[in-house]
Structure 1
């Protein structure tokens, strides 16, 4: 009996679809990617104001997502900055979450639908002498993905910190926000000043604590 070519073709197609599905769901590890941050902050960690010396901080808000259906786990994240081509500092203390619910980064599962959150990066205590000065800053965001040998570069861009903005940032309660302007495809910088008390009452805004 001669096999029906149509039935054979359907069976082969079904087998191929099953194989692809199994590869995507069970074997394909994929990686983790990050959308362009809508906002980046240079300034001080307001949670340490008062009796403590403000700690330099970089904040950003973005979506992390996995390129595989099984998802991946981000063990840690950090930010490296260079000013005018020279390495300045590594912000290797990672805190993430929403306002009022920030937690220390110690493993974050990222699925294919993504995780949107505020990410705060602080310098180590022995690097607290770092200060933001005028210049062009190369900002690089890295992730350590569980199971990968090499760290993953998630985002990089150059931000301009003008001299007059750098001078305004000398105040302990000042910070500069770089907001992404999609119509012109670049970040627009502006300085904001606030007090530690006012920061507590702005939990409804996407501003760093």
Structure 2
């Protein structure tokens, strides 16, 4: 664990397990902590108190066994009819059916949220499905598009431009301002994609 100052009131913690540290800081109820934001390899902690004192306490925090606790994986039903499914199959040397089978067999973890509200970068994509982004991004990707790029899988929560390769679509709302919290996905949560024949 490497702890560095981030401005007057923040700490940036480099760690091999940001999700478990995020959960530990949240559970500890440390005085003065304002926000805890996990990234792929870091956790940003802001405090109203003394960042130096907080830094001294972090290495001693007990980490939970699992970041998501006993929560079951978020199930995302997917109709696999994406515009890039055939191209992904060609790039990987698999059939479209094999691409779907491997995509649904994996269990993913929400590494962090970014790009747009509710957009979760999911780790756990099988190595054989890791393909590069498109050479030319689309100007419009529909909400609910299920996509992959590099080592990540994701679901677009809202219409936006994007260069990821589209495998399918879901009707599940990833971002809903009437829900508390609005994002269906949270850092550290586990995710499973389930083929939906409809």
TM bracket, shorter-chain basis: under 0.3
Whose strand proportion is higher, 1 or 2?
Answer: 1
TM-score w.r.t. the length of structure 1 is 0.22
